[in-house]
Amino acid sequence: MSIRNNWTFQEIQEIYNKPLLELMYEAASVHRQYNQTGEVQVCTLLSVKTGGCTEDCAYCPQAARYNTGLKAHKLMDVNEVLTKANEAKESGSTRFCMGAAWREVRDNRDFDRVLEMVKEVNKIGLEVCCTMGMLTEDQAQKLKEAGLYAYNHNLDTSEEHYEKIITTRTYEERLHTIGNVRAAGISVCSGGIIGMGETDEARIGMIYTLATLPEHPESVPVNALVAVEGTPLEDMKRVSVFEMVRMIATVRIVMPKTMVRLSAGRLDMPVAEQALCFMAGANSIFAGDKLLTTPNPSFSDDMAMFNLLGLKPREAFKKEAIEKLVTS
Ligand code: SAM
Ligand code: DTB
Ligand code: SF4
């Protein structure tokens, strides 16, 4: 099977609706064909600017308008961030993703500080990623020059369901930022969340939009909603592992080379459930006992899981290393 960007909604729907074991088998086969199975990328998140966000994303504990009890924190100092990045590296992470609760990046002193963070974390030898809201082409370029490896900007859901979740910025704006990241030569990380009351069609719709971008995102995070008290989605029921597996497997089949990240929601998943997700083609996780603001399994629990399942952490900059080998 070749890498395709001309998927139709219906083709993806047919894959998504296959009997679950059939779907898993096909996804596992595609995974074996395109990737080193048994290898899982370990990323660590750090919220460098927390809470107080102007936006109304219905899932988000960091939106100022919801009363979630979260303590807001202004942009961290570069040195504090470096300490955390070094700890992440020592624990075995190869990618370090810095999150800021901003609607968009602004051209101010905070941005200068972010550029400094990117430069310094890059020197440690970690793949540096940021997730800070909308970016202009010029800002993306500056981040690239500072050494940014990847930028995370999620579509979150399908275009149709989007307006039930966020009203303060458009789907179009999200796609525009993703285009700016791509144009600057930064690796694109974009995915979404399931468990926000969306239909199967909305889940398929989001995959369709990602799979028909001119180039597939290099990584697609699949988050299970972490229903946080105080947010409009606080009463949402936790998604089942079978919904996660269906989503992950479909993403794996239609975007064979993409890193598929089993993201938020792992804390409630027993190892047996996570194993099904790896079997279905997930090959990346967020490790460390905190995501941005909510808890996550500890490094030691994850390493115990890796040992049990025979998984090993993926080295940093693998794609570049492979490309260098091929061209030399
Ligand atoms: N402010 C930036 C933005 O919105 O792009 C960056 C940070 S934002 C928290 C990054 C992503 O985290 C969101 O797009 C969403 O997909 C995910 N996320 C946030 N809260 C979540 C939750 N409660 N459960 C699952 N995923 C969540
Ligand atoms: C992504 O898709 N999931 C991560 C990362 N990208 C930035 C964030 C999950 C956040 C979960 C809620 C929290 O901890 O605040
Ligand atoms: Fe703000 Fe990002 Fe949370 Fe939306 S997801 S409220 S933009 S921090």
pLDDT tens digit string along 165-209? Answer: 999 999 999 999 999 999 999 999 999 999 999 999 999 999 999
Q: Where are the domains of the chain?
A: 9-327
Q: Is 49 exposed, middle or buried (0-12, 13-18, 19+ CB in 10 A)?
A: buried
Those residues with Cβ within 8 angstroms of residue 309's Cβ, 6 or more apart along the chain or in another chain? 271, 275, 278
Q: What are the angstrom distances between the C-alpha of 272 and each of 86, 221, 277, 287, 316?
A: 31, 20, 9, 17, 27
User: How much distance in Å is there from the Cα of 55 to the middle of ligand 3?
Assistant: 6
**Which residue ranges of the chain lie beneath pLDDT 50?**
322, 325-328
**Ligand 3 atom 2 nearest Cα:** 101
Q: How far apart are the first and last CA of the chain?
A: 27
CB atoms within 10 A of CB 130: 28
Quote the ligand 3 centre to 287 CA distance (angstroms).
21
State if pTM tops 0.85. yes
Distance 12 CA to ligand 1 centre (A): 25
- Which pLDDT score is estimated for 116? 98
What letter does residue 158 receive in the DSSP assignment? -
E strand segments, 154-214: 187-189, 192-194
What fold is seen in the domain 9-327? Answer: TIM Barrel (3.20.20)
Of 62, 194, 223, 234, the one to substitute when testing ligand 2's pocket (max ligand atoms within 8 A of C-beta) is 223
User: How far apart are the C-alpha atoms of 22 and 253, rounded to whole Å?
Assistant: 12
- pLDDT at position 319 is 62
- For residues 307 and 316, give the distance between their C-alpha atoms in angstroms, rounded to a whole number: 20
Q: Find the helix or strand (DSSP H, E) in which 144 lies.
A: helix 137-146
Q: Which two tokens stand for residue 94?
A: 């190869």
Is 199's C-beta closer than 6 angstroms to any atom of ligand 2? no
pLDDT in tens, 93-106: 999 999 999 999 99
Distant-in-sequence contacts of 137-140, Cβ < 8 A, 24+ apart: 137/180, 137/183, 137/184, 139/105, 139/107, 139/111, 139/180, 140/180, 140/181, 140/183, 140/184, 140/186
Per-residue pLDDT at 328? 43
Tell me if 264 CB under 6 Å of ligand 3.
no
The whole-number pLDDT of residue 323 equals 53
The single-letter DSSP state of residue 46 is E
Ligand 2 close to Cβ of residue 221 (< 6 A):
yes
- Which pLDDT score is estimated for 321? 52
Strand partners, 53: 63
Q: Are 255 and 90 in contact (CB under 8 A)?
A: no
CA distances for 309 relative to 208, 256, 278, 302, 305, angstroms: 31, 22, 9, 10, 6
Cα 75 from Cα 113, distance rounded (Å): 9
Q: Which two tokens stand for residue 314?
A: 């993926």
Separation between Cα atoms, residue 322 and residue 326, nearest integer Å? 6
In whole angstroms, give the CA distance from residue 259 to residue 254. Answer: 12
